[in-house]
Structure formats: structure tokens, C-alpha cells
Amino acid sequence: MNHMQGWFVEKCNLWPGQAMALEVEKVIYQGRSKFQDVLVVKTSHYGNVLVLDGAIQITDRDEFAYQEMIAHIPLFAHPNPQRVCVIGGGDGAVLSQILKHKSVVEARLCEIDEDVIKVSKQNFPKFAHVWDHPKVTVQIGDGLEYIRNLSEPTFDVVIVDSSDPDGPASTLFGLEFYKSVFKALKPGGILCAQSECIWLHLNLIKSLGEAARTVFPIVEYAYTTIPTYPSGQIGFLVCNKEETSKLPKRTVNEALIETEIESLQYYTSEIHPSSFILPNFAKKQLTFN
């Protein structure tokens, strides 16, 4: 663990010249899986924090800002999402958002690192219910291989909740993956993929969007703000087989299970279209259609 007198310090070549520090009360878990370093720390102000290969993945305090947006933007943009695939997301948080939708009959998760699931079950109990949910199935393996081997269009929505492209998630960024997802999506299907930060990775996002645009007719970039991700912002490439994803097809009251309507802390029908409005420096680079 990078540390400085009781602090976890996140440093990475993907965001050179800057760092994020969280005050640590104790180390809960530290180990090495087949694929990456796995760390869970209890912090003074952000609760439990999951760290993979030195990069913060999820914290108790602010996880909803990312999980709600990566899940609900594509789910609300689709008129009737019934079958949803999550690639990555081994902490279970995105699954917990998907299961709030009345229309969903199947949520399938493909996670390459089984240790992430095991550690998350123990340390993020608010998502523990997803693993025994009758609508959820779990596949342990490589996401690209899984999607590529599907014999027919299977999903209405594919969500890629991956770590950064310099580790085990590297195969989830690029043309081959986008082609495979396109074939796996039913007519009107939507891909929503974690796609980095406009302040740090603008050229990378542009290249990913251009690659996706050779496959999908509509490619758009939306974003959310979250304090513990680099520069406080992270975005998603939202790729639609038929039309823009900028407008929700249903209201929150129409789409969600009644007991979950008040559970949303970030996503609203108003924030959905506004999340696609980019500052001019990013808009110039990330307009793909």
C-alpha cells in the first residue's frame, strides 16, 4: 500500500503529477489475486474503500455517483431493458442498481477476478443481496471472450464496469471488443462503458470513441462527478444501435420497483440529458456522430 503516515496515496502513470490521499484507520484486507493487487482499507471519512492495483474502485461514501450513472443512463435510454450484462463490476454495486428496474428479468455478470467478488461480499455488505438474487447469474472469466462466444444477440444493455486499461481490463477497450458487443446486443441495444476522465485522458477517449463509431451508428460521451476518482470526474461511452441515448424513455416512477424509487441519490430524469453536455474543450474532441 502506498502510504504516508496513516494515509493511502493513489498514484498512477495514467494521471501523472497528481495523487489522491485518504486517511486510513486500518487495513482490512491486502492480497494478490491471479490478476492484480487487491486492497480494502477502512478510512476516516469515506468508509471502506476497495483498491485494485493501487487505484480506487469504490468507496462507501461516494460510490452511488458512479454506479447509478453507469447503470441508469443506458437502462433509462432503452425502452424496455430486460436482459442486461455487466462486464467487470465484481463489487456488486452496478448489479444492485440494475435490479431496481421492474423490466429486468436477467442480470448476468462476467468478472475475470473471482477474488474481487469474494472480498467485496465480505466488506461491502450493502451489495451482498445481489449475489443470491434469482435474476442474477455470474460468469467467472474474460469479458471479451465471453461476449465473443455468444452465438446470437442476447442482451438489451451491456455495461462495462471495468478498471483502467493498463491491467486485466485492457481487452475491454478497443475495436475488437466493440464489434463483439454489437453482435451480442439485440436491436435497439445499448453499450455503456467506463471511459475515463476528460481532464486526463481526452486523447484516449477520443480514440475509443472513434473506434466505437466504426461499429455503432450513435456514440456519445456522458459523465458524472465523484470525488475519489482522478480529477473528480469520470465518463462513459454510450453506444446505441439505433438512436441517441440522451433522453430517458421512462420516468423514475415508471421504471423502478416502487420500494426503490426513493433510493436514488444521484440519477434523475433531469440529470440524464445534462450528463451529455460537455465543456467546449471536450465537446470539440468527443463529438462522434
How crowded is residue 129: how many other Cβ atoms within 10 Å of its Cβ? Answer: 13
The burial of 154, by beta-carbon neighbours within 10 Å (0-12 exposed, 13-18 middle, 19 or more buried), is given as middle
Asked whether the beta carbons of 43 and 24 are under 8 A apart, the reply is yes
How crowded is residue 80: how many other Cβ atoms within 10 Å of its Cβ? Answer: 12
d(CA 209, CA 229): 21
**Three-state secondary structure string covering 172-231:** HCCHHHHHHHHHHEEEEEEEEEECCCCCCCHHHHHHHHHHHHCCCCEEEEEEEECCCCHH
Whether 161 sits among the annotated catalytic residues: the reply is: yes
Distances (CA, A) of 6 to 3, 41, 50, 222: 6, 11, 17, 35
Which residue in 62, 91, 156, 161 is the catalytic one?
161
Residue numbers annotated as active site: 161
